[in-house]
Structure 1
């Protein structure tokens, strides 16, 4: 009797790739409003506060879904979870594209954020079943590549499409793409290779599955009993929040208004910031593992970010080349937040490692969730009545006041890091 073979790698990566497609869509939707600010403000008659809130509706539901997503992945399986997520993402995008007013647009963004929140857990669940153990880390790294692709497409290409066809038709096509991904997942993806007659790699990765049934809130309470974990919950929102607040919403209008750049050029600069952020993550992760320390690199990253953002925000009229260089450096050092995941995992017992990582991920998303509308509120507080084609134009002082919230959170993050305990890359008992 012949042993059952593992699935061919080409098939395994195709299965994983369909899950990753939803993750790419999620990051594209996360930053898409940043290149459509004028159109959204004009169509929905929004001030900066309302626009920030519209963008942040994505994060409200995304954060809320972080806790139940793991349970849903175990109960439903990744196929049903990802197909449902892609379908609802398509519905949310359709609603957003056809929204007659801001209320319906907000609901569309809420549906998008909550639905794509299942992508990361779902595709890693597929990787655990379909891919060999030695390729599991590669799959995690490729997820970051999907972020980059989504972010880049939501920059200059999206801006050019919006200029050519208008934002609503482009979003309608985006909805169709999400529905196609949902159909492909349902037809082609299976939770486990055994459903297609192959052997499964699941044992290598599902050794902790049973812990999820012992109570999510109990796990969260246990994790927060360790000082490092609750400190590391508040810290990453500073770096991630600053990047996504600037590149994901307010960077394009700031650059077009105060540096006289074309919208496509401003979008390209914001995309460069996001790409450098994605590159910085694995570099900081590798360097931290190599040196055997978490705290010093985490601290260094925050120091450079704070210094860089201070120059960008507080020094007017920078040469464009220097501005771009600063944003790339800031983005790269913002990748230090990847250290927080390992830092938090090592700061709690191994049985709570998943919960600790989930809390850090929530902390990252809380940054833009709070900062995007808060910056908008301060912009409105400092608006002097200037309009252009139905959209409000904000002065340099207004942006300084708004972006000062980013600087304040980064300064707080610096202080909080000082109170963390170094793990030396070793799991506590």
Structure 2
């Protein structure tokens, strides 16, 4: 492929998928800033706020297995463009709702609608680019998500000074429709992929082979407790932690969230610039992943034990390490043939978003119940964070033991 064709492919394939994942991450993390506004307007407790925010993860996770089969059968262009129409409808429902049920329904529709944004891009990359470029492309697409997270921090707080959260949600609905159109009209299809995917029985056999794989289950617990756990914390509970444990106000929280998002973006860019070079030089991505997870758990442990200790440093380092946790998608997919790539990635994503939903809602339930039992707010949040940390340590131990067996 000559340079002109590569540039054309980059514009017509990468940029529309990057725009979709930007929106997906913005939708995912927006409640960290909008959540306190909703809580004040609708008198929502921590349990209700956790449920409202986590319905995104529930719908997103529930879509993953059928999504993998759809991607392998119909291709990333059709699947993502169609689902983004649901996301636009969900944003409109959210904007026009006055009840917890209506807001939760809107969030669920958004989660379902953006459920293909990352996995569709992975599928497209596996179709059009060689294997040695996959890790770097993962970094670049994740960088677009990092920009979405960045937009959902300080910029979103500033936007709330000029427009209501309802007007912002309606604006996002219109933007989502535009991205769906770009995907539908610009992204090319890979000829012959549908025939390789096979019928429903063959696709289900592929799904079963993934879930029967020891290699898959080596990474699955870390996907649940660490990647999903960080998404649960970043999407809602980080801001509540900073309020209750550190006494930060809206501006201070937005600044901290901006630092976290900037560090995530830096981690994604690191993957984009250097992952392929590391692979070509014989440096194991598995070791890079393990090292990043060790640093992340050390940071989360320090944050949980000493909330006021260097928060402007520890939280961003945790965010940077989270960005490197997405190497696990490449590590899992490498064990399966390209025809299974969509299902392999969505199987791992199912565990990630099951963790994000369960842990985000679970933290709210635990905090509310502990406070009802007489615990102070700071003690309840500490107990919730230490519980999550315990699950992450067990998952890391499982990862090490799985590597030794291999």
Do the two structures share a fold, i.e. TM-score over 0.5? yes
- Spell out, residue by residue over 1:293-350, the C-alpha distance to the aligned partner (whole angstroms, 9 max, x if none): 46554443333222211211122432xxx11111122222334423423432345577
Matched, 1:189 2:186: yes
Q: Is the partner of 1:165 in helix, strand or coil?
A: coil
How far did residue 292 of structure 1 move?
4.6
Counting only pairs closer than 5 Å after superposition, residues 311-322 of structure 1 correspond to structure 2 as 311-318=302-309, 322=310
> Contact 1:226–1:347 (CA<8 Å) still a contact in 2?
no
Q: Structure 1 residues 38-47 or 118-127, which shifts more?
A: 118-127
Q: Structure 1 residues 97-106 or 69-78, which shifts more?
A: 69-78
Aligned twin of 1:233: 220
How far did residue 108 of structure 1 move?
0.6
Matched, 1:149 2:131: no
Q: Alignment partner for residue 318 of structure 2, among 322, 330, 341?
A: 330
RMSD: 3.5
Matched, 1:411 2:393: yes
Separation of aligned partners in 1, 2:306 and 2:159: 33
Aligned twin of 2:69: 71
TM-score (norm 2): 0.85
Separation of aligned partners in 1, 2:164 and 2:227: 29
> Contact 1:347–1:423 (CA<8 Å) still a contact in 2?
no
Q: Alignment partner for residue 365 of structure 1, among 343, 353, 365?
A: 353
Separation of aligned partners in 1, 2:301 and 2:61: 28
Say which structure, 1 or 2, has more relative contact order (CA 8 Å, 6+ apart). 2
Separation of aligned partners in 1, 2:261 and 2:198: 35
Going from structure 1 to structure 2, the CA distance change for 1:148 and 1:291 (only over 3 Å counts) comes to same
Q: Is the partner of 1:117 in helix, strand or coil?
A: coil
Counting only pairs closer than 5 Å after superposition, residues 296-307 of structure 1 correspond to structure 2 as 296-307=287-298
How far did residue 129 of structure 1 move?
6.8
- Spell out, residue by residue over 1:202-244, the C-alpha distance to the aligned partner (whole angstroms, 9 max, x if none): 47x9599436755333223222333231131122222212322
Which structure has more helix as a fraction of its residues?
A: 2
How far did residue 76 of structure 1 move?
4.2
How far did residue 163 of structure 1 move?
3.3
Going from structure 1 to structure 2, the CA distance change for 1:130 and 1:31 (only over 3 Å counts) comes to same
> Contact 1:231–1:417 (CA<8 Å) still a contact in 2?
yes
Question: For the pair shown, which has the larger CA radius of gyration, 1 or 2?
Answer: 1
Separation of aligned partners in 2, 1:207 and 1:293: 33
> Contact 1:243–1:274 (CA<8 Å) still a contact in 2?
no
